[in-house]
Amino acid sequence: MTQFATEQEGFWAGEFGDEYVNRNRYDISATLAMFSRILSKAYNVNGLFEIGCNIGQNLRALKLLKPGSKISGIEINKTAHAHAVKDFPDVINGSVLELDVSTLGEFDLAYTKGVLIHINPDHLPAVYDKMAQIGRRYVLISEYYNPVPVAINYRGHEERLFKRDFAGEFLDRHKDFRLADYGFVYHRDPVFPRDDATWFLLERK
- Local confidence pLDDT in tens for the 205 residues of the chain: 478 999 999 999 999 999 999 887 778 999 999 999 999 999 999 999 999 999 999 999 999 999 999 999 999 999 999 999 999 999 999 999 999 999 999 999 999 999 999 999 999 999 999 999 999 999 999 999 999 999 999 999 999 999 999 999 999 999 999 999 999 999 999 999 988 999 999 999 9
What pLDDT sits at residue 27?
82
What pLDDT sits at residue 1?
47
What pLDDT sits at residue 24?
74
d(CA 89, CA 113): 20
Domain 7-204 class in CATH: alpha beta
d(CA 127, CA 67): 28
